[in-house]
Structure 1
Amino acid sequence: MAERGRSINDEREYLKKLMRKAEEHCNESTTDIVSTLYRNKPSSYFDDIRQNHNNIMEPYLKSNGGDPRCPINGKVKGLFFNVTLVDGTLPDKSPFGDTRVEVPLSEVFDDSANLYFADFYCKPHRRRGDVHVTKRVHYVTLVLTDSGSDADSFCKTHLLKLDLCTNIYLTKNKLTYRSLDCYGVHVEVMYTNAIDMTGRDLISTGTSGQGQSTPGGIAKFVGCSTCNVGE
């Protein structure tokens, strides 16, 4: 038990350093009023949910994408959503697919929810044709749970719980939600419950990059001083 305790303590200390890096990078940023989480996938993904899964979008095990020391990698099931706006509105394209579903924050982020900081990372540079893409986008990963759930118990032990009203990434104050507005930073939310797709509209969007997720995830770029913790 002592060895396990030290391991969890080391894990949490590492996360604290990582969150400090995120806060330093996002220092003096503003916030946007937001109302929905949104998730893009190829249209075939939603067709499969409708035809083979009784219209239920089920959580899946977190990949090894992002920081290799992220405690939820391979441990917690969830659905990844984005919340970040672009110029005050939802983006018109996505690297994850051509079809979008939106879920009202009021439906999933109520007074019984808990919010945790899990990761801060960027991905390796990529090439677009013969052009090397130099703009580095950073991601903050949050986990949204129902209080008392199995996922919540794991996150309470391994992650950093955020104050719902005062954190800089995603806040809830009565009926108003706000999310970070920092150039080049996207806030992604892993929601740990299933979503019933019945009655939800699907919206066609453009795509960017490869237009779909990379199986297994993309590991963090270790050469970035912004999001790597020196030890």
Structure 2
Amino acid sequence: MARGGHQDKAYLRKLLPKAEEHCDGDDYDQVSDLYRNKPSSYFKNIRRHHGNIMVPYVKDDGGDPRCPINGRLNGLFFGVTLYRGDLPDMSPFGNTRVIVPLDELFDDSANLYFADFYCKPSRKHIHYVTLVLTDAGSDADRFCRRHLIQLDPYNNNYLWKDEFSDTYMTLDQSEVQVEVMYTESIDMSHRHLTSTPTIGQGHSTPGGISKSENCDICNVW
């Protein structure tokens, strides 16, 4: 039987304080873009068979098994965390990168939600915070309102807008990665793709990687 919104939110209300405690600090970076790495074949397929439209697809089972968006919400994953003040110079997810300006997606019509906080068994020293960015009033937004915790776009620990300028900030913590799932399609017609060296297997793991079960930092006991 599918979990209801009250159950999902009750769980996230226990998980979010774990993330808040671990990610609390005064270090942050000014950012202007989201970035997404995939193998070059992924982008070629979009151009040849999907009219250059990058279409959201269902979230896998990676991260916390109780994450409310697993298998239930479509989206596109982006990174926002910088490495030493700049975009990472390599990626485990693919050799080709597209960059999308934050002000195109995270504008006044967008809502931001907390969805997950986890680490992977093979990299327990790195923790991941998963945010969801929606268009207000969309089907995805209505799902997130029921099942996730909405964040203040001007006041949170992970990704926020400066209220008095056209700038965005994100957490700068060496062992925390902030990932953003955007729930709408993106036109790739005028996007510039760049080549990026890969690390590890060079592509995402089919089905995702489930969180470590014995980490005191990110598990709710």
For the criterion TM > 0.5, the same-fold answer is yes
Deviates more, 1:98-107 or 1:23-32: 23-32
**Partner residue in 1 for 2:10:** 13
**Partner residue in 2 for 1:62:** 59
**Partner residue in 2 for 1:145:** 134
- In structure 2, relative to structure 1, the CA distance for the partners of 1:69 and 1:135 (3 Å cut) is closer
Distance 1:73 1:199 in 2: 31
- Structure 1 stretches (4+) deviating beyond 3 angstroms? none
Q: Report how many aligned residue pairs link the two structures.
A: 219
**Cα distance, 1:7 vs structure 2:** 4.3
Matches within 5 A, 1:37-116: 37-116=34-113
2:119 and 2:126 in contact (8 A); partners too:
yes
1:38 and 1:101 in contact (8 A); partners too:
yes
Distance 2:116 2:200 in 1: 22
Distance 2:7 2:133 in 1: 23
Distance 1:51 1:181 in 2: 38
- SS state at 2:125 partner: coil
2:65 and 2:210 in contact (8 A); partners too:
yes
Structure 1 residue ranges without an equivalent (≥5): 126-133
Matches within 5 A, 1:205-216: 205-216=196-207
RMSD: 1.5
**Cα distance, 1:11 vs structure 2:** 1.9
1:109 and 1:144 in contact (8 A); partners too:
yes
- 2:161 pairs with 1:172: yes
Distance 1:116 1:135 in 2: 24
- 2:127 pairs with 1:121: no
- In structure 2, relative to structure 1, the CA distance for the partners of 1:14 and 1:59 (3 Å cut) is same
| Amino acid in the other structure paired with 1:146 | D
TM-score under structure 1 normalisation?
Answer: 0.91
Describe the superposition over 1:146-165 as per-residue Cα deviations: whole angstroms up to 9, x where unpaired.
00000000000100000000
Deviates more, 1:197-206 or 1:6-15: 6-15
**Partner residue in 2 for 1:129:** none
- SS state at 2:6 partner: helix
2:6 and 2:146 in contact (8 A); partners too:
no
**Partner residue in 1 for 2:152:** 163
- In structure 2, relative to structure 1, the CA distance for the partners of 1:18 and 1:135 (3 Å cut) is closer
**Cα distance, 1:9 vs structure 2:** 2.4
**Cα distance, 1:29 vs structure 2:** 4.3
Q: State the structure with more CA Rg.
A: 1
1:40 and 1:99 in contact (8 A); partners too:
yes
